[in-house]
Structure 1
Amino acid sequence: MFEAIDRLFFLGTIGKGLAFLVVLGWAGTMVRADSNGKLSAPALAWHKSYNGSGEESHPHYVVQTRDLGFLMVGETGFVEDRSAKIFLVKTDRRGNLLWQKEFGKRGYNLGNCICEADDGNYLVAGTLNMDAALIKVQAKSGKTIWSKTWNLGSEDSFEGVCLSPDGGILLTGYRSGLAEGTFLNWGRGVLLKTDASGNEEWRKDLSKYTCSGYRIQPKGEDFLISCHPRNEESEDYNLLLVDATGKVKWAHTYGEIYWGFDQNEDGKILLTGHTRNTPLSENLDIQFRVVDQRGRTQTTEFFGQPRGYDGRWIHDEVWGARATRDGGWLAVAGTGDETRRYEGRGHPSGPSGQWKIYLIKTDGRGSLEWEGVYGAEDGDWAGEDVCMTADGGALVANDCGAFGFTKIEPFLKN
């Protein structure tokens, strides 16, 4: 199902000062700006959404593919009531649907991460019927090439996937989780290596370090794993460096739970999470932690409360982050109020109870360059992930009750 919204908006700030509001028609025509005509936060270019067979669909990860289209993964249906199926959607560069596929029978299924294989087809990491799963599909049609599952414990999942230099596939996630939802299930961390056909070569237990590996990326001949603490009583660990055999070379703890993760061309690493340990409010705000190649903290910055409502009630929840080609960072969040005890009004984007996309652009040290709020006049939008696009803009995986493909105009020079 496709949906186009008739009226969209974005509201931005330049640094920590000037604010402006732009209202767009769905085709992206600018009709209002600040009195100086100066815009820094980029405009919303277009938004399209697609739903699966479930009542709602919720995205978790997005990439721009080699053909300059977009691939997004998550679930259709609800994990909590065991009605979910993995949902995978492919569009062209303008967000027009090419194909969409669902995997698994309705139940406990998770679509967590994706990457392009060396042959140009796509790999999907997640869970099928409580078992960790890796699925390979054809790029042109979404047709399954092969599907592999691993029964590692009671509830198992692959959260992150990447390619290895030898042509294999690395997967990280957990075994024996609590099966409570799509994010943090307090299992026992695992790292697994397969060949290009998904045949297991080796497996490592990471439970000494983490309840779950979350994302994994190559770093030279090694691999970085962003991960979650071992258990609810521990702060250890957030970031691991492992060699090509899965041996842990170092592990670092930063005292939070992080979701956004990437590294830039200078070797710096960004971790972003939402925390109550913030100087900005009494609720959830966003932490940017920039660390060097050895995991040593360089800077820590906080962002949040972009609409100026009562910070005691507003959640700013960050889920995705990417390095930008100018050496900086871009993170995406949702901002809104989940309680019925407070309903702030007066902001041009709508009342506090309406969730909006919150984008934060910083330089390489995490200093704010611009921030923007994006949404529809009615209904909830929340940023779940973001990818940089070849034109210098970005594409947000937008949880709008469906898979929202929300394109941000270019803001980086080609």
Structure 2
Amino acid sequence: MKIAVLGSGVIGVTSAYYLAQAGHEVVVVDRQKASGLETSFANAGEVSPGYSSPWAAPGIPQKAIRWLMMEHAPLILRPAVDREMLGWLFAMLRNCTAARYAVNKGRMVRLAEYSRDRLIDLRAATGIQYDQRMQGTLQLFRTQKQLDGIAKDVEVLRAGGVPFEILDRDGCVAVEPGLAGVRDTIVGGLRLPNDETGDCFKFTTELAALAAASGVTFRYETKIEGLRRSGGRIASVKTSRGDIVADAYLLALGSHSAGLARPLGIDLPVYPVKGYSITVPIVDASRAPESTLMDESYKIAITRLGDRIRVGGMAEISGYTNDLPERRRRTLEFSVGSLFPGAGDLAAASFWSGLRPMTPDGTPVIGATGIPNLFLNTGHGTLGWTMACGSGQVIADLMSGKAPAIETSDLAIARYAA
């Protein structure tokens, strides 16, 4: 079967790779000049199944009000007269209940754990390199209230069989020695020893090369203008370089997926939640992080990537904008500078923003649509890198008519109709 994959970020590329491994003829279409140049380019670097949690959680509406008043806020809302934004916000608020949080987190962890296992298999099969480390993730708490509030997450981790460790401040310093100089400013942490780190852009680039070597065709610098429908099916993709005809089509365009699906009558609740990162050259390795640390106070991840530190986070709801306000950079610098002072050259850091494709319930949308030959793999939010390999394998199985190894019925777009 010939399959057109629309989008060549980490989700599109992993999908293309697994589809090719399943024996399909695959063509990938993207407006950029290479793979991984948008949201996959400079994300936080975490492969953190155990930290897979929806932003929609009990208490978030109250926290959001406080966050909006903070100098270094984890959440930034730049409201606009935008029906799409308002509808998405209301849908997210409806998911801020204990019952929905438990359901949403459970299915996110299920997919993320499966994805981590597929990444391990892929690495063993191909030898792919991407500045990876396998030293776990530390969720760091600066206040006792934060540490006392982890019961819900621990319950889900325990139910899912995910290994974890609750650490005091000395335990945190033992796994991240760079924290020794600031130990009095922290109270403890939740460590997930099976989590990994790595450069998502390097991974996407390397996997695209492996996919191309196995026969996948990449059509870069090709703008996708729409999907042509005929007889209840997708007949072709309209692009700036002519139509592309295939037997089946996979929409993996991140935040731009909803706009392409809307003219087909598909209400896909995926909206961009902007994130920021800085990439800092390491100047003193003894003070730098060993793996990934999540600064819970500011929702910022600090990750060791070779001779660099990637500092990424924040959630800004501001539409489809890629501007770089200096105050966002100051927040990232404050987080890493207060925890790992002297580790990197902040003045030499590069500054970046990306549009994370977020669903109101946090879970990506993976699977079939009401159009028989159109499939979705999008809406991964902050966890595209964590869930990429699992999502790619799942959609390849579904498009091949094969039962996936995990439950996937609650990942499809049909869950919103219910």
Q: Which has the higher contact order (CA 8 A, sep 6+)?
A: 2
The structure with the greater share of residues assigned to helix is 2
The structure with the greater share of residues assigned to strand is 1
TM-score after normalising by structure 2? 0.29
